[in-house]
Chains A and B, each alone.
Chain A
Amino acid sequence: MNYIEFRNITKSFGEFVACHDVSISIKKSEVHSIIGENGAGKSTLMKMLGGIEPATSGDIFLNQKVYKPNSAQDAFKNKIAFIHQHFVLAEQLTGLENILLSFSSGSFSLKIKNTSEVLAAANKILSRFNWKIELSKPVSQLSVGEQQRLEILKALLQEPEIIIFDEPTAVLTPQESEELMQFILQLKRENKTIILISHKLNEIKSVSDSISVLRLGRLIQSSPARELSIENMAELMIGRQVVKNTNFTRPTEREVLIKIPNSDISLFQSEIFGVAGIEGNGQSALIASLLKEMSDRQIKYGDITEDRIKLSVFENMNLWEHMLLKHKNEFLSKGLIFESRLRKVTEDLVKNWDVRPVDIDKPLSEFSGGNQQKFVVGRELWNHPDALLAAHPTRGVDLGAQENIHNSLLEFSKQKKTVVLVSSDLNEVLYLSDRFVILNKNKIYGPFNRGELNEQQIGLIMAADNNDGIRLAGQL
């Protein structure tokens, strides 16, 4: 019997079956990746291991023994650490305080670990991996990458044997992702068992020993990584071949739609205009001024916000209510809501965009991240706006949906429309954009044409303190 053994695990939420009769075995000291589209049941499976959700039926064996956790604390005690996709950090507290918090066992425990001891242990780990985090700074002032390292640090201080990473690179820059992958390999060398959930197949390919593929709650295949190519994985995941659309041509004569405020850049119709850069370098200021400009000029625009949960999802409001909030004028007649039309339109949208489950009365917040995003993208494009702001449109979205979203952005831009694509995923910007700018410390560099710079040159502009001599287009 292997180190971790899932035996015929089924998990259902009411009528919805998230995992159906899944059996996976994971060896000690290996990197085992679990891949699948959104809603395939990856996170649910891991939540059962992490003690957050109990299984409906089936058993988990850990180290030859039946393992039935009742809480995340039970998982801790069994040396299982869970690094969540969304950070679980108190933003106003410092890094060190967050670490201390993670040591308090019960809600009413007054016992606090010795601060200097914890700090010493933390610094030891930091130096082991050659990381730098200022633990005395409030978490809100740390970069996303640093916050994630803090999460990992928190987990490592508990000296876990098994570490679960739930889509760890979704928010990282290419360099940071690469470092994280190296780090995972280092953990493996230290005999830890790593379970990695991700959509980014090239990363998975580079670090995994074994790969399990889930689709619609069922295990499709579980095999050593060397037996699978990236194309195989993608095909198994979505159940068909992925076709990448790479050649498209633009009309030569294009009209100017608007100018980006505080800069000399004009946005054209029929183009995808990329904005690359590490997050926090002026993206929010750029987005805010662009949105203001568009609404001042009464340009009809769609808005795929940069932070779905904070800016697009209303808790306890269902899909058709979200539809109404965005497109109110389409559904009001004489001041009253035209509900049957609203429901019909929402239902069609959900079907067209393959949002699962097809239930327009379910609160949007209860859908999985990828399905939320599919709904949001569909909703923003529904009334054929003239321009679309797409900020991190595929963040936390699986491959099938990613392809879908990318294609619809391309399709949309062909209809004499403008897309402003803000993304920290450089590949995405390079793949889609006709022209792009790079943000660094609130300065806009560019615009550069497709193919003008290679990835390395872009990386330098993104990270350098001093970019003298590079085309400067504006200041935010």
Chain B
Amino acid sequence: MARLGRVVLVRLAGSLPVLLIVLVGVFVLLDSAGGDAVDAYLLSMGGGDAQMAAELRARYGLDGSVLNRLLFTLGQYARGDLGWSIALNRPIGPVIAERLPNTLWLMGSATALSFLLGSALGVLAGRRPGSVLDRVLSGGSLFLYSIPSFWLGLVLAVVFAVQLRWLPVSGIETIASGKAGLARAADIARHLVLPVAALGMIYLALFLRIMRSGMAEAWGQDFTLAARARGLPDWRITLNHAARNALLPLVTMLGLQSAAMLGGSVVIESVFAIPGFGRLAQEAVAGRDAPLLLAVILTSALMVVIANLLVDLAYGWLDPRVGSGAGHD
């Protein structure tokens, strides 16, 4: 266990320079934008005079040079302070803490859905490659993969929320309901059904295809033929041998997709009005709020780093030939 802890620490420390590159890059990018946080603020106020704009810029330290502001931000991070959001007029730490769970729920559930359903269907499809069932499943999943997620989300919302009224149209939970405990959890779950379906269906194809080809490969190999000769039932062969064969590439895909999934949730959050990370990023960009955008992107990057770390650990556990932490390149 101590070895594991060290691996985790080393990996996280190793990603520090990368995070620094991300930080500086995003800072410079946002600084080159036309308009700053005060322009965005004046717009929301419906105008203001020149002196007011100057006072506001001084108040939020926007009149300093890029380098000064970058160093100031870095200094804040070093002290563990995420800084102050100009657009929201609040400290950034609590904002991130509020929004992160929503996105994690959305992403986590969508990943679980696409992984489980995708691999289950992949087993079915790979059982008899080229069969009608295989063609329907493969074709259907490819079709889903080709649909823009926002479009799928809009259609799902119209059908299941507006027409059938089975599920809520948008939001993460019933507003100001005063619910707690299980009732609240059930409420959040109901709100997550449509967005998770819209996001998860899209990535289903990825897992289905990997499982399918893994299965197809395994079925032609000696050990499955031998198992069959020994009279083992098909479902046991499927689980014990073939599925196992496809597990490693599946887990790899899980890591690779974590960043894409996070990006995809931006659009889904917008369609379903879920106050998560993606919408926070949009608000930060629209408000030209460099500290907030930095914090959002850094946290996202950190999440991807952690996801990949977990994948590597899982890799080492699934396949003892690979040492933990060496699952790269």
- Answer yes or no: are A and B bound together in one complex: no
